[in-house]
A and B are shown apart, each in its own frame.
Chain A
Amino acid sequence: DTGVSQNPRHKITKRGQNVTFRCDPISEHNRLYWYRQTLGQGPEFLTYFQNEAQLEKSRLLSDRFSAERPKGSFSTLEIQRTEQGDSAMYLCASSPQSGGRETQYFGPGTRLLVL
Chain B
Amino acid sequence: AQSVTQLDSQVPVFEEAPVELRCNYSSSVSVYLFWYVQYPNQGLQLLLKYLSGSTLVKGINGFEAEFNKSQTSFHLRKPSVHISDTAEYFCAVSDVQDTGRRALTFGSGTRLQVQP
Interface hits, B65-116 → A, CB 8 Å: 90, 92, 94, 96, 98, 101-109
**Cα A33 to Cα B46 with chains together (Å):** 16
B11 contact set on A, CB distance < 8 A:
none
What's the least CB distance linking A5 to chain B, in Å?
10
Q: Establish whether residues B49 and A43, one from each chain, have CB atoms under 8 Å apart when the complex forms.
A: no
> For B44, what are the chain A residues with a Cβ–Cβ distance below 8 Å?
43, 91, 93, 106
A-B contacts at CB below 8 angstroms, number: 58
Per-residue interface assignment for chain B, residues 1 to 42, with 1 indicating a CB less than 8 Å from any chain A CB and 0 otherwise: 000100000000000000000000000000010101000011
Q: Could you tell me the distance between the alpha carbons of A41 and B106 in the complex, rounded to whole angstroms?
A: 9
Q: Are A56 and B103 in contact, with the CB atoms below 8 A? A: yes
Docked-complex contact B108 and A42, CB < 8 angstroms: yes
Q: Which among A31, A40, A103 is the interface contact of B108 at CB below 8 angstroms?
A: A40
Taking CB atoms, residues of chain A closer than 8 Å to B92 are 42
